[in-house]
A = this chain, B = another copy of it.
Amino acid sequence: MREAAAEVLAIGDELTHGFAIDTNSAHIARELEQLGFVMRAFTVVSDEPHAVCDAIRNACSRAEVVIATGGLGPTEDDRTRAAAAAAAGVELRFDADSWDRIARWFAGRGVQPPERNRVQAYLPESAEVLRNDWGTAPGFAMRIDGALLFSLPGVPREMKNMLSELVLPRLRAEFGDLGTTAFHELRLLGMAEAELGQGIAHLMPSDRNPNVGITAHSGLLTVRIAARAATIDDARALAERDAAEVRAQAGAHLLYEGSERIEERAGKLLIEKGMTLALAESCTGGMVAAELAGVPGISAVLLAGYVTYADMAKVRDLEVPASLLVAHGAVSVEVAASMAVGAARRTGARLGVAVTGIAGPSGGTPEKPVGTVCFGWCLDGHAESWRLRLPDLGRRFVRERSTIEVCAAILRRL
């Protein structure tokens, strides 16, 4: 199993100005690592022609395969074609076939092909055209300094399609012996990152295979394992050995394993179990419903959601007794339970779940500081509730952490 390095290059002023975030490179990295390539670096570079040319040259001098995204559009700031030609020391040539395809793309939409899109058909002399069936900009492949450079559009949908349809099959044919990388993710809630890190420190040296790391997002810890081996079975077995150690450390804090987001996982479980659900949300303001609604098929079980900031809405829509609100306040375990019961009863759902809390920045008191969130749970008529005191790491954190708490409850309790 030989080692081949790949690099990714994202091109665009919108990235270096910080107007947009590069998400293409992460997608490409995952795909290439599964083909067995080793990823050591991404580069993000502005549209400035010399900077693009240098970045292409440098990446091609370090890696066997370089995938560049962006800079293939019809506008003045799309310079990848010329920069790649300069890096290879060749001229641009007009590719009549590509111009034909661009013209037909426009014609198919009843539009005269704009003359300015013609620049998209000028490609480096030595390049092989990569047909773009999902947009106007053709990509191209060429050798520079012994490396194989692929240039793809920056539009994620076009990039992803061209990568999987054109680039990956080509790499598979040309680099057959690289082995593969298996990925495994374990998700934990309720454990401190430092504690977990201490427990699995021996798995985490950066030059070890598998490569193991921890990331934290809104309180949810993810242990990620990337294992390289000659075959996918070997890679998976290698990853599984480390996963077993992580499980032992995580104990009851382990929520689930896999690459799905927690909201997706919770939504799929509800659908699988046919568990009808009604949501009552105050501080999360519909975030739980919106996240679950991202899962195709959820409409079969998510009967209704109520965003009830106002006390009046809690009384009217969820039949929370006004006396309860007066006695305990809207942010209380008592009101949370009552909201969950009300949502389930109103809709006939088997499960009612409620969130009421103080997301900040204002609204906190000494007894109920910002970050106090109460959760209600009513399954088949049996109501429970609990409270979290989250650190005040901002409104967004409190709302996201609360949404995770609801999804975790679904995963743990159903």
Specify the main secondary structure of chain A where it touches its partner. mixed
Closest to A79 in B: B206
Contact A215:B14 (CB < 8 A) given known A116-B198, A362-B296: yes
**Cβ-neighbour of A290 out of B13, B114, B289, B317 (below 8 A):** B289
Instruction: Contact check, A26 vs B30: say whether CB atoms are below 8 A apart.
Output: no
A190 CB–B CB distance under 8 Å: no
Q: Check B41 against A43 for contact (C-beta < 8 Å).
A: yes
Q: Which residue of B lies closest to A196 (CB)?
A: B75
Contact with B along A1-45 (1 / 0, CB 8 A): 000000000001111111111110111111001000001111111
Query: Could you name 6 residue pairs across A and B whose Cβ atoms are closer than 8 Å?
Result: A13-B213, A40-B51, A49-B207, A285-B298, A294-B396, A303-B312
Complex CA distance for A42 and B15, rounded to whole angstroms: 9
The answer for the CA separation of A117 and B292 in the assembled complex, in Å, is 39
Q: Contact check, B296 vs A361: say whether CB atoms are below 8 A apart.
A: yes
How often does this chain occur in the complex, in copies? Answer: 2
Chain B residues with Cβ below 8 Å from A174 are none
* Chain B residues in 8 Å Cβ range of A48: 40, 206-207
Min CB distance, A56 to chain B, in Å?
12
- Enumerate chain A interface residues (CB-CB to B < 8 A): 12-23, 25-30, 33, 39-49, 51, 55, 58, 73-77, 79, 114, 116-117, 157, 183, 185, 194, 197-198, 201-202, 204-207, 211, 213-215, 222, 224, 226, 279, 281, 283-294, 296-299, 302-310, 312-313, 316-317, 346-347, 360-362, 393, 395-396, 399
**Given A286-B290, A289-B289, A304-B306, 9 new contacts (CB under 8 A):** A15-B42, A18-B33, A19-B26, A40-B45, A286-B307, A290-B290, A299-B310, A306-B306, A316-B347
A378 to B48, CA, bound (A): 49
Contact yes or no, B293 A284, CB < 8 A: yes
Give the residue name and chain of the B residue nearest to A136 (CB). Answer: B194
Known contacts A18-B27, A304-B308: does B46 contact A43 (CB below 8 Å)? no
**B293 lies within 8 A of A285 (CB):** yes
User: What are the 5 A-B residue pairs with the smallest beta carbon separation, nearest first?
Assistant: A285-B293, A305-B307, A286-B289, A286-B286, A18-B26
Cβ distance A399 to chain B, nearest Cβ, rounded Å: 7
Give the chain B neighbours of A222 by CB distance below 8 A.
19
Select the residue from A48, A197, A305 with max chain B CB neighbours within 10 A: A305
Chain B: minimal CB distance from A291 (Å): 8
Given the complex, which residues of B lie within 8 Å of A183, measured CB to CB?
Answer: 17
Contact flag A17-B40 (CB < 8 Å), given A198-B116, A293-B307, A306-B307: no
Alpha-carbon gap, A393 to B158, bound state (A): 11
Which residue of chain B has the shortest Cβ distance to A208 in the bound complex? B76
Query: Please, which residues of chain B bring their CB within 8 A of the CB of A211?
Result: 13, 17, 77
- Across the interface, do B296 and A285 meet the contact criterion of CB distance under 8 Å? no
CA distance A13 to B17 in the complex (A): 24
List, in ascending order, chain B residues with CB within 8 A of A28's CB. 18
Q: In the bound complex, do residue A201 and residue B23 qualify as a contact, i.e. CB atoms below 8 Å apart?
A: no
Contact of B14 with A29 in the complex, beta carbons under 8 Å: no
- Pick from B30, B43, B294, B303: contact of A17, CB under 8 Å: B30
B residues less than 8 Å from A286 (CB atoms)? 279, 281, 286-290, 293, 305, 307
Chain B, Cβ-Cβ closest to A77: B206
Are A304 and B307 in contact, with the CB atoms below 8 A? yes
- Indicate the member of A23, A206, A399 with the most B CB atoms within 10 Å: A206
Chain B residues with Cβ below 8 Å from A302 are 285, 307, 309
Q: Please tell me if the beta carbons of A18 and B29 are within 8 angstroms of each other in the complex.
A: yes
Q: How far is the CA of A123 from the CA of B410 in the complex (A)?
A: 45
Residues of B close to A362: CB separation below 8 A: 296-297
Asked if residues B25 and A18 are in contact (CB atoms below 8 Å), the reply is yes
